[in-house]
Amino acid sequence: MKRKAAAGMLCLTLIAFAGCEETPEDVIVREKGTDAVRQYESAEDGGALREMVNAPEHYAQKRSYEESGLIIETDAEVSLPDADALNTYAVSARKVDQELIDLVTKAFFDGAKIYDGSCARMTKADYQEQITNLKKYKAEGNLDPYEYGLDEDGVATFDIDEEIERAEQRMREAPEKVEKIEVKPQLGIGGGDMGKGDGASSDGFFGRVEMGQGTYQYTIASSSYSPDISFRIDKVREDLTDPQMFADWMEGEYLIGYEGNHVTEEDVKKLAGISFEEASQIAQEKADALSMGLQMTGWDYAGFRYGEGELKKEMLIDGGYFFYFSRMLDGVPITHTAEYGGGLEDMDSTLTPWGYERFVILVGDDGVQKAELLNFYDVGDVQTKQVKLKSFEEIIGIYEQMMEVSNADVLNYEKQRTYHVRKIVLGYARVYDPVKDNASGLIVPVWDFFGEFDSVSLDGSETERNSGEWTTRSLLTVNAIDGSVIDRGLGY
């Protein structure tokens, strides 16, 4: 239920539903492709953005719909960049090449030994540890330690005896020791085979990096048919009693934001064992090493969860800080949101999507724990200089109408939903038209409305409470130039 209906929230077919009150004279849904740039006009005079669009520093409003079944409560800081004007820019997907790979590798692993990822395969000792854990669970009467649950016929999905037998078979075939082969991170040349020890494949690279503060998994993923490129760095945990148990880092918005988790800022800070200032300095040094002029535009607490099922406070065994970095264009950032972009309108789509550029670095008490660098942009020339923007009042009118329209069917599966909008941000976002070109687009100014919601199920038995204070989720994104609604999940 936490993200139920999020994907369909901006379903634009709802625009024409009957009975919509106070329909604005301007049409909300317009052409959103890059061809729309021809319609953009430059403002006649410059000046402070807040004065140009007549935006307050804080906006508060509470509206109820459907006999108070749907409530939109806005109590938000209105954040604008420190700039006199905003522009639109041409943008394209940066092609992955060895120069880019070397740049990222040096930024995070300068001077370290990097090995073929096959050295991470399990040995006889690893399988023996797995078998010992499974037999221990069985002796304790825990036949579903990883909480796989039951299938639709009520039969257990996880068969512990079958899993033990499978592990014993694999142990017989596993090596006593895995040879480590040093490699240079690169995409496969000539269709490399990771199993042969060159650490590369035609579409990516998988390696292990040994550094003074620990071992890292280093993954590069690319594709000849997609513009997306991803660099992922994950520190290997060596303190888990059962490596098969679910374990991963979670952003604070999913720990602290949800009332039922009973996790506080102090809990996470204590686990982190490093100050915010120290952690941010480490993250900034890595971002600076990428030489892209990245600026930290946000941060969040991080907690390392170990264990299956519903989150409990005692499942958190480590802490740290997530830092979000953004590309700056004339001193104005591209707004970071929880969405990765590059979604498809339906499962039958034959389009190849393009995800957003994304830079996230997680730091704990022993350095970088995780990093995610996705879909680097090549930013081109300004397309419209000092573009004319709609007033804040016009944008708010669109926001209030669309929050109602896009939740028109929410009471079909919930008794009540209350949105809490806590931050309104003017910044940049990338849009594109995947039908015409899936590797180029336009960077335009947009308004994002950040928040979360409380919900009550139809029978009142389940509730979800999230104040929206910690979220990076944009509930609605509105083009600041023409007022069109942008689906963050799709990227247009």
| Three-state secondary structure call for residue 302 | strand
pLDDT for residue 5: 37
pLDDT for residue 36: 52
Residue pair 193/175 in contact (Cβ under 8 Å)? The answer is no
Write the CA distances from 4 to 112, 284, 335, 427, integer angstroms. 44, 35, 24, 27
d(CA 85, CA 46): 6
- pLDDT surpasses 70 at 33: no
Residue pair 398/462 in contact (Cβ under 8 Å)? The answer is no
- pLDDT surpasses 60 at 218: yes
pLDDT-derived band at 99, boundaries 50, 70, 90:
very high
Average pLDDT over residues 378-391: 96
In DSSP notation, 174-233 reads S-SSPPP-B------SSS--GGGTS-B-SSEEEEEEEETTEEEEEEEEE-SS-S-EEEEE
Nearest Cα to Cα of residue 439 among 89, 95, 88: 95
pLDDT digits (tens, 9 = 90+) for 442-479: 999 999 999 999 999 999 888 889 999 999 999 999 99
Q: Which two tokens stand for residue 333?
A: 């950032």
Burial of 190 from C-beta contacts in 10 A (0-12 / 13-18 / 19+)? exposed
pLDDT digits (tens, 9 = 90+) for 54-67: 999 999 999 999 88
pLDDT digits (tens, 9 = 90+) for 219-260: 999 988 889 999 999 999 999 999 999 999 999 999 998 888
d(CA 24, CA 480): 16
pLDDT digits (tens, 9 = 90+) for 308-358: 988 999 999 999 999 999 999 999 999 999 999 999 988 889 899 999 999
pLDDT for residue 45: 63
Residue 452 backbone phi and psi in degrees, to 5: -145, -165
Q: Which two tokens stand for residue 366?
A: 């022993």
| Three-state secondary structure call for residue 77 | strand
Asked which of 199-203, 225-229, 285-289, 364-368 is least confident by mean pLDDT, the reply is 199-203
pLDDT for residue 194: 39
pTM for the complete prediction?
0.88
pLDDT for residue 21: 36
User: Could you tell me which residues come within 8 angstroms of residue 185 by beta carbon, excluding any fewer than 6 positions away?
Assistant: 101, 102, 105, 114, 199, 205, 207, 218, 220
Question: How crowded is residue 261: how many other Cβ atoms within 10 Å of its Cβ?
Answer: 19
Question: How crowded is residue 269: how many other Cβ atoms within 10 Å of its Cβ?
Answer: 16
- pLDDT surpasses 60 at 1: no
Q: Tally the residues of the chain.
A: 492
* Cα 270 → chain centroid: 25
Residue pair 285/294 in contact (Cβ under 8 Å)? The answer is no
Nearest Cα to Cα of residue 359 among 269, 258, 233: 233
Residue pair 451/421 in contact (Cβ under 8 Å)? The answer is yes
pLDDT-derived band at 369, boundaries 50, 70, 90:
very high
Asked which of 26-35, 139-148, 251-260 is least confident by mean pLDDT, the reply is 26-35
Average pLDDT over residues 117-128: 93
pLDDT for residue 492: 95
d(CA 163, CA 190): 38
pLDDT digits (tens, 9 = 90+) for 412-439: 999 999 999 999 999 999 999 999 999 9
Mean pLDDT of the chain: 89
pLDDT for residue 44: 66
pLDDT for residue 238: 93
pLDDT for residue 46: 59
